[in-house]
Amino acid sequence: MPVLDLSVSAVDLTRTICDIPSVSDDETPLADAIEAAVRQLPHLSVHRDGDTIVARTDLGRAQRVVIAGHIDTVPINGNVPTRDIEIEGEPYVWGRGTVDMKAGVAVQLVLAAALAEPRVDITWMWYDHEEVDAARNGLTRLAAARPDLFAADFAILGEPSNGQVEGGCNGTLRAIVRTDGVRAHSARAWVGENAIHKAAPVLVRLAEYRPREIEVDGLVYREGLNAVGISGGIAGNVIPDACEVEVNFRFAPSRSGEQAEQHVRDVFEGFDVEIVDLSPGARPGLDAPLAQEFVASVGAEPRPKYGWTDVARFSAMGVPAVNYGPGDPQLAHHDEERVPVAQIEDVERGLRAWLT
Amino acid sequence: MPVLDLSVSAVDLTRTICDIPSVSDDETPLADAIEAAVRQLPHLSVHRDGDTIVARTDLGRAQRVVIAGHIDTVPINGNVPTRDIEIEGEPYVWGRGTVDMKAGVAVQLVLAAALAEPRVDITWMWYDHEEVDAARNGLTRLAAARPDLFAADFAILGEPSNGQVEGGCNGTLRAIVRTDGVRAHSARAWVGENAIHKAAPVLVRLAEYRPREIEVDGLVYREGLNAVGISGGIAGNVIPDACEVEVNFRFAPSRSGEQAEQHVRDVFEGFDVEIVDLSPGARPGLDAPLAQEFVASVGAEPRPKYGWTDVARFSAMGVPAVNYGPGDPQLAHHDEERVPVAQIEDVERGLRAWLT
């Protein structure tokens, strides 16, 4: 089993844990190493559930903060082990997981070891299976088994946010918009009814759709409604009797799931719409006193998070939550995934200052 | 080997040869039976190529007519053996192949046996693999091996035409109309460019397209431009960077293949268009003296043929050709395929009268 030294810098620890592959389903070696390292720390009580490790201080502070990060990555594509690279004079750690999100986890592990007496109680969570179906997410499992561990006044996820504070997240909905017709031989098309032609207004409405920018608790969320798939057709000489357009609506956290569904049904009025997936977003939660303190302390300008992250899970459980981590989210899952060394150090400094 | 008695009625022979299954690739038993039967006829010289049988009179007549029919069918779907049924008091032979096109073949076989001294020389052709790729069609093979056998002044295909004369046929062209875009995560759609949305004008142009009706040599051909397939999409959270619409253009025989291609390129101007399949149509050929005689003799009203048939092959070889056979083309390939007994008798009577 690899041994983790949590007394090194967060940058060094980023390299070390990126070089322990932990693609979803293969998190156990890294989870074992994390568990062994944090069990050495007398100020933390440790709970393990599958490959999720929870480590808590119990100092009787007035407030408690959850600080969490997932330890799995998307599949490796020739980008492990990590390399030190420079871009325009700036040093980076390059490789799978550096952005999403082992640099964030490394910062958390270093601080978990260093901060024996933080000014708030902390529940550290390092969890498995974030990059796959939500049903398999380590936090889904833990929330079912031990909801008490989620009790907190505020939560910080170390998802990449370029070292800024990203509040809440957009919701996401997927739906199938269907048209039907009447099958016929294409030599006598007038006998049939072309379902693909009938989908023209669906694509026109999508092409003409102007997504809104919606301010929620002071942050502006940008929505989006997009076709992510289309299919139809039987054979090269048959008028098709069915066409399906799969659409994805990313919606501001001020809309409930029901409102998002209604909006999509309104856009495609006159068409058969089936909702196949729906995850509401999370309001930024920046009006919570701890959140305001946190933002002021790290000196960051809060921004909206567009992608869905586990902050929505905390938000749904009544815990205001933000994303705060090193790395550019646009490079997550990218083969050239890389994190600026300076961002790792900035985030470590920011968190450390606020927690002490 | 089943033995064919060509002295029975064309209706009886229709039942017999429909009950000898001959789905494309399995024509040999029927081809063997036909070859054996026509080799008994002293007035015919017989040539066999694969499962295609050619039987010719050589009476030194001034003119020669090809009369042809394919012996394969589309797959059987619980509709063999044949049954005698009645619809609104009218008797039908029901079953796979009755329409497309064994009733027509039965008429031809009966007449091939009966007419030892027709007033024109006749080249009878019964061929394989018409219901599959054109490259595998028995006539494609025969035309390469023995083009001399196609020499004629006129050709009649026994394809179902409701006992009417259908002149020529529409051409057919298939093309792929492509759009491209830029892939991106759907949470940040504005970073990408949605190729499915960009296909909206393609579907709008198809939906708004008004097909023309074009008179060619006195017959009105109805054209059609249809999407027969559409595909695009990578995953439920990715803005797609490609979309393909497959279109099928059925065009009047007055347009050349090049003109048809140009028309499709004009309709989809501004888009990437790839032609993937192109078979020009055939002019009706009803201005040929033999054709005029034939139409007058069978007393039919000439109509246009919409579907592509092997008449186009003869037309391309300089032989005017028409379709003339029992059965409703709309019931071809249908599980309830059935031919009115009266149409078999009418077509037999019509052909016999003209040939003697």
A vs B, Cβ pairs < 8 A, gives 165
For position B330, what pLDDT does the model report? 87
Decide: B181 and B241 in contact? Cβ < 8 Å. yes
Q: Find how far residue A150's CA is from the centre of its chain.
A: 18
Residue A319, min C-alpha distance to chain B (Å)? 23
What's residue A283's pLDDT?
Answer: 84
The size of chain B, in residues, is: 356
Contact yes or no for B219/B167 (Cβ under 8 A)? yes
Contact A194 B307 (CB under 8 A): no
Entry pTM? 0.77
- In this complex, the residue of A203, A235, A237 whose CB is nearest that of residue B196 is A203
Point out the catalytic residue in the list A35, A72, A131, A346. Answer: A72
Q: Could you please report the per-residue DSSP string of B263-302?
A: HHHHHTTTSEEEEEEEE--B---TTSHHHHHHHHHHTPPP
Q: Write the ipTM.
A: 0.76
| A276 token code pair | 């196949």
Question: Rounded to whole angstroms, how far apart are CA atoms A200 and B74?
Answer: 33
- Pairing mode, strands B303-304 and B165-167: parallel
Contact: A233, B231; criterion CB under 8 Å? yes
What are the angstrom distances between the C-alpha of B3 and each of B16, B23, B27, B328? 10, 19, 15, 28
A301: confidence class by pLDDT, cuts 50, 70, 90: confident
With a cut of 90, say whether residue B301 has pLDDT above it.
no
Q: Is B244 a catalytic residue?
A: no
Residue A294: helix, strand or coil by DSSP?
helix
Q: How far B212 CA sits from the closest chain A CA (Å)?
A: 12
Q: Which residues on B lie below 8 Å from A194 (Cβ)?
A: 206-207, 226-227
Segments making up each domain of chain A, as ranges: 10-169+282-355, 171-279
pLDDT confidence of A114, banded at 50, 70, 90? very high
* From A187, A188, A236, residue closest to B246, measured CB to CB: A236
- Rounded Cα distance between A99 and A18, Å, is 10
pLDDT band at residue B236 using 50, 70 and 90 as cut-offs: confident
CB B204 within 8 A of CB B227: no
Half-sphere CA count of A38, side-chain side, radius 13 A: 28
Q: How far is B110 from chain A (nearest CA, A)?
A: 31
Using an 8 Å CB-CB cutoff, list chain B residues near A236. 174, 228-229, 246, 248, 277
Could you please state the CATH topology (level 3) that the domain comprising B171-279 is classified under: Alpha-Beta Plaits (3.30.70)
Pick A206's closest partner by Cβ from B197, B226, B330: B197
What's the confidence (pLDDT) of residue B188? 86
Q: From the list A207, A230, A240, which residue is nearest B228 (CB)?
A: A240
* Test the A interface: residue of B183, B223, B228 with most A CBs within 10 Å: B228
Of A172, A230, A307, the CB nearest to B230: A230
* Residues B317/B143, Cβ–Cβ less than 8 Å: yes
Residue A133 has pLDDT above 90, yes or no: no
Question: pLDDT (tens digit, 9 = 90+) per residue, A303-335?
Answer: 888 878 888 889 888 898 899 999 999 898 888
Residues of A within 8 A of B172 (CB-CB) are: 186-187, 237
- Note the helical H segments in chain A: 10-18, 28-38, 103-114, 138-145, 195-198, 200-208, 257-267, 289-298, 311-316, 341-355
Task: Tell me the chain A residues in contact with residue B250 when contact means C-beta distances shorter than 8 Å.
Answer: 186-187, 189
Residue-wise pLDDT for B179-234, tens only, equals: 999 988 888 899 899 999 999 999 999 999 999 999 998 889 999 999 999 999 98
The alpha carbon of residue B239 is apart from the nearest alpha carbon of chain A, in Å, by 6
* Reported confidence tier of residue B169, pLDDT bands at 50, 70, 90: confident
Which residues of chain A does B308 touch, with a Cβ-Cβ cutoff of 8 Å? Answer: 187
Token pair, residue B179, equals 């759009």
B243: closest chain A residue by CA? A230
Nearest chain B residue to A250 by CA distance is: B187
pLDDT digits (tens, 9 = 90+) for A149-195: 999 999 999 999 999 999 888 999 999 999 999 988 888 899 899 99
Q: Which residue of A has its CA nearest to B198?
A: A207
The answer regarding whether domain B10-169+282-355 maps to CATH 3.40.630.10 reads: yes
The dihedral over CA atoms of B252, B253, B258, B264, expressed in degrees to the nearest 10, equals 10
Residue among B177, B248, B277, B330 with most chain A CBs within 10 A, to mutate: B248
Q: Given the DSSP bridges, would you call strands A272-279 and A171-180 parallel, antiparallel or unpaired?
A: antiparallel
pLDDT in tens, A239-298: 999 999 999 999 999 999 999 999 999 999 999 999 998 988 888 878 888 888 999 998
Mean pLDDT of A83-98: 97
Chain segment A19-29, per-residue pLDDT in tens: 999 999 999 99
* B49 included as an active-site residue: no
From the list B291, B294, B350, the residue with the least C-alpha distance to B325 is B350
Residues A231, B230: C-beta atoms closer than 8 Å: yes
